[in-house]
Chains A and B, each alone.
Chain A
């Protein structure tokens, strides 16, 4: 058994056992490059863990649950989180402790660095920075064991699952080695590219005060130098305002303020810069290819932490589907540190969303009926531009902020190791989500109808019947607050009759019970906070706050965006009315804004075809190959295909049976009856006003943190997401059983 090998003893024959990072460091150490001593926990230990604990099968079952190629990025994160949870909660091989006791005795009191070293990167012929985890400041045996678990788990990180083809990630073959070294308490550290990816004549060096992790994970902005590649002459120096440095603090790492002199001094002197450059050049010469290295300075000495070849990802082998729209780097870029997320939250809450709201309100004040056709055409263009602008902001700033809930979830699982890796979602429920406030307002209006059966009967016969003053006022108030909802490019509450029918259906049901999540939320919050030491309580509170804000804005931002869209739709409605009056013979409801604008200007009724809007994210944002699911044809001359049982993700616990209502357009929303099962391609918070009527939710779009899953948890109803082709395989009226514990949807045979 060769579980633990000293770095100095590694040679090429150990490649599969120790991975490229360890092997390269060993080789460079022998060449006289300053590297820290170390030991490598080989892939044998990882394999023993999988074999002895039954993890191999459990990971396999998880990976095979749905085709990985068909998972969206959120589902890949979910899958990685489930696997991570298996590693966190499965007992380690008993021999591991014994083996680690053979580490040098004086390491017991020293902080260690625990780094991933994956043999898969050798197979890929490329380096994939940031896919696997490394940990600093590991103190004591318990922490070391915990960090080894997490490094092993990171073999199956979401990033690794994204690049699984290139990594040739395979359950039977792939394994992870762990490099264990005394941590170097860095004064300054950084990265270097011996050849700039942007300009082959340049070398790039970046540096921060303190540990490198803050630079690598984006917490701190580094100083950045471009140097002439062949001489090392600095060409540019981008100075940043450095106020903090990441340093070991007890058993953790924390940002510390820099001294005034450090704040005003670049992290590297010219001589140190030249030393880093010389190291980078030496490594490139040694390996014969440009290198991406991490280095650190301690006690005036330069150490190499790791070196790997620079490979632009575009050069790696890619399945054909990726070539069209590979947005995986975009997905990986979504990861943010707590500090960055807090800055994002600040911007979202104080600038972005208030401005979005104000923009919609400003557009709402323009009296569209009173302006001429030319001005209306201009208004249509402005509104399209505003909507595009806010949609861009949505993708570029609001969606990345949704990472807050995932950051919180990962940390919750590390600290509490719950059996259910999505237990953390219970702590995020119960925030003041706008969709819930809207639903409460609807419930209040329904209460009025329940209390006035005569009025309900009148409206049941004629939903356009005059309303008594108080109810009319209440309804107008509701529309003022929530009337801007849109769905599939339709203003949802434009027709009063639809809203009245919805209220009548709500009123026919017993008054809704209070949300059921409160006790679990409080208990779990208490448990979460207790898992942190007294001096870490602030950190715990910050994490919880960012998780909750992220969870809430993930839902609310859609409603605010809809208010902007609603203003475009309002202008489109006005345009259609004018064109109808003018006698244009088209089906005007099918015409898009561009077409309507052109018609208004040219007074011409011959126009190009339109494009249907989609509420799901654009394919290039999904970080998966463009899906080429088979067209769902279910009949030929010989056979009829019927999906009987469909598998997805169990995103909301519970079991429910009822008739399906497939939502294809606004008319399906207003035809929704109590007890029906909501079946939808992708749930949008604008449409979740029917959820209080629904007995369960089935959604094609997958994920544990998608809108469908969020709202189902709020109402305590079962939810299954990620059901491929759900809206094609299920028809309205089909009798379904939704098993939200297992993620299974069963279609019953027709009677």
Chain B
């Protein structure tokens, strides 16, 4: 396995194993963080999450689609500094329409089956974040960036 494949495997592994991400959105100058459940597409091109339409994060990402999600494996031990893996995913968020939601809901529900009722509520929106790049931090300070090729950014 080459270095790129190895890194993609690590990112994919973390995204599969972790249920939660800290989503950062922006309202003008003000930043807002929310804990969200997410699922990743197999090709790592997109992340999916859902939220009630009345929330601040929903309003924020309608105004400013650029978002960042922090996903990590730290479990609140001091050795996490060296042992945990953290990925910041950056991309642009988009509210999926009904047809798209129907297409991507199974992917989200496969990981979070207990959220079926929540996702199906008419007031809930399924959101797709098209990834521009992942920043992967391991061993405290070792940082690598995995950037989507321009041609891949809008394919799935």
Contact = CB atoms under 8 A, between A and B. Distances in A.
B148 A639 contact: yes
Given A65-B82, A644-B144, A646-B142, A639 B1 contact: no
A641 B142 CA distance: 13
Contact of B3 (A60, A65, A641): A641
B4 interface: yes
A631 interface: yes
B56 interface: no
Interface string B1-23: 11111111000000000000000
A637 B149 contact: yes
Contact of A636 (B4, B139, B145): B4
A61 interface: yes
Contact of A638 (B2, B6, B79, B148): B148
A59 to B, nearest CB: 10
A638 B151 CA distance: 8
A634 interface: yes
Nearest to A172: B79
A368 to B, nearest CB: 46
Interface residues of A, number: 28
Contacts of B35: none
A34 B151 CA distance: 80
A640 B1 contact: no
Contacts of B5: 630, 633, 636
B81 A61 contact: yes
A639 B146 contact: yes
Interface in A614-635: 629-635
A641 B145 contact: yes
Contacts of B79: 57, 60-61, 64
B59 interface: no
B2 A644 contact: no
Interface residues of B, number: 30
Contacts of B144: 641-644
Contact of A60 (B6, B82, B148, B151): B82
A541 interface: no
B147 A633 contact: no
A124 interface: no
A630 B78 contact: no
A49 B114 CA distance: 46
A62 to B, nearest CB: 9
A742 B78 CA distance: 18
Nearest to B11: A639
Interface string B128-148: 000000010001111111111
The interface centre, meaning the residue of A66, A636, A725 with most chain B CB atoms within 10 A of its CB, is: A636
B83 A630 contact: no
The interface centre, meaning the residue of B2, B3, B148 with most chain A CB atoms within 10 A of its CB, is: B3
Nearest to B151: A637
B64 interface: no
A561 interface: no
The interface centre, meaning the residue of B1, B140, B148 with most chain A CB atoms within 10 A of its CB, is: B140
A525 to B, nearest CB: 34
B8 A639 contact: yes
A168 B42 CA distance: 37
Nearest to B131: A639
Contacts of A632: 2-3
Given A57-B79, A64-B79, A632-B2, A641 B139 contact: no
A634 B2 CA distance: 9
B127 to A, nearest CB: 22
Nearest to A640: B147
Contact of A647 (B8, B81, B83, B139): B139
B4 A641 contact: yes
Contacts of A65: 82, 139-140
B45 interface: yes
A647 B4 contact: no
Interface in A575-634: 629-634
A725 B143 CA distance: 14
Contacts of A18: none
9 contacts: A60-B82, A61-B81, A64-B139, A630-B5, A630-B6, A631-B2, A634-B3, A637-B151, A641-B146
Which 6 A-B pairs give the minimum distances between C-beta atoms?
A: A64-B82, A645-B143, A633-B2, A630-B3, A57-B78, A644-B143
Given A64-B79, A641-B146, A641-B147, 7 more contacts: A60-B79, A631-B3, A633-B2, A638-B43, A639-B4, A639-B149, A642-B144
Interface of B: 1-8, 43-45, 78-79, 81-83, 135, 139-149, 151-152
